[in-house]
Amino acid sequence: MFSTKALATSALVLSLSGFGFAASAMDNPMVGGAAMYADKNIVENAVNSADHTTLVAAVQAAGLVETLSGEGPFTVFAPTNDAFAALPEGTVETLLQPENKDMLTTILTCHVVAADAMSDAIAGMIADDGGVHPVSTVGGCTLQAKMDGDNIVLEDERGGTATVTIADVKQSNGVIHVIDAVLLPAE
């Protein structure tokens, strides 16, 4: 399990690499207008997605860059800027304040699983568990994974749901699944 200090020293930063562009970028979907490279880590790729600037800022504020740049494997359910914007007014600004770092870290790590879980594996676990599969996160949350047609839907501990909109974005230390809502821990 990760210590709070280790999680606080990790953040999401994504960057492009010219080397290996053709091979690794073609295998992965574009995210936020940027190519994602399977030979780069979660942080190195996330910083280039125009759809994830709020998530990147939050990961940096929580001190999670080093952790998410680490060996992993990690599965990150990555909320878009629109997902953060849908939170009640002022929520993001409040969470980014230094005095709320622990709360921000908990919320962000409730989007991270200590495994490399591609969508077909998640769908298989959902089917094996009769339609609902519990997903334990590094933040101590338990998400409920379900299917809605061909889409994976995650339910957080407050009953909120997020749909995977872009699945299987391969990283050197795991995988990112883009989601359309922020998942929250129990109050």
pLDDT per residue over 126-144, tens digit each?
999 999 999 999 999 999 9
Query: What pLDDT does 28 receive?
Result: 82
Q: Residue 169: helix, strand or coil by DSSP?
A: strand
Query: What pLDDT does 25 receive?
Result: 47
- Does pLDDT of 122 surpass 70? yes
- Does pLDDT of 77 surpass 90? yes
Question: Domain span at residue 89?
Answer: 4-179
- Does pLDDT of 13 surpass 70? no
pTM of the model: 0.84
For residue 185, is it within any domain? Answer: no
Number of domains in the chain: 1
For residue 72, is it within any domain? Answer: yes
For residue 45, is it within any domain? Answer: yes
CA pseudo-torsion sign 127, 128, 130, 134: negative
Query: What pLDDT does 2 receive?
Result: 37
For residue 160, is it within any domain? Answer: yes
For residue 14, is it within any domain? Answer: yes
The domain that holds 142 is classified in CATH as 2.30.180.10
pLDDT (average), residues 35-59: 91
> How does the average pLDDT of the chain come out, rounded?
86
pLDDT (average), residues 18-34: 60
Scanning 39-183, the segments in alpha helix (DSSP H) are 42-46, 53-62, 65-69, 81-85, 91-95, 101-109, 119-128
CA 23 to chain centre: 24
- Does pLDDT of 170 surpass 70? yes
Q: Using 50, 70 and 90 to split pLDDT, how confident is the model at 26?
A: low
pLDDT (average), residues 92-104: 95
- Does pLDDT of 21 surpass 80? no
Query: What pLDDT does 108 receive?
Result: 96
pLDDT (average), residues 145-168: 97
DSSP H helix total and E strand total for the chain: 9, 7
For residue 85, is it within any domain? Answer: yes
C-alpha span between 56 and 69 (Å, rounded): 13
Q: Which helix (H) or strand (E) holds 164?
A: strand 161-171
For residue 187, is it within any domain? Answer: no
